[in-house]
Amino acid sequence: MKIEKIFSQIVLNKKKKKIIYQDKIVTAFKDKNPQAPIHILVIPNILIPTANDITKKNKHFFTHMFYASLKITKKLNIHKTGYRLIFNCNAHAGQEIKYIHLHILGGKNLGPIICKS
């Protein structure tokens, strides 16, 4: 099953146990392959494939993803120690799933950068 379809099923609560936050606009859940002790994905409740697909009509989903991430970092108690928010767009940035998602990484010192070129 394509991951994009799995994301849609999570939004529809078909995988309820994975959800750590949900409202009318976004859904958040733990990443299946965490890159840090805390690794959460925040997705819009509608399919937007990449950051390039943000439009005037759907831009509120994008800003609400940031707003929800603030609530989540407080809930997980990493808002004071620090966390990283990441969007990847297309292949060269490492986007593997064509469903826009915001990564919340935290729970340890992540260092100054993620990867070296």
> Domain range spanning residue 40?
3-106
Give the model's pLDDT for residue 116.
60
The CATH number that applies at residue 33 is 3.30.428.10
What's the predicted TM-score (pTM) here? 0.88
Give domain status of residue 116, yes or no: no
Residue 8 has pLDDT above 90, yes or no: no
Number of domains within the chain:
1
Active-site pick, 64, 92, 101, 103: 101
pLDDT tens-digit readout, 23-66 = 999 999 999 899 999 999 999 999 999 999 999 999 999 999 99
24 burial (CB, 10 Å; 0-12 / 13-18 / 19+) is exposed
- Does the residue 52 lie in any domain? yes
Q: What angle do CA 60, 27, 44 make, to 5 degrees?
A: 35
Residue 96 lies in a domain: yes
101 catalytic, yes or no? yes
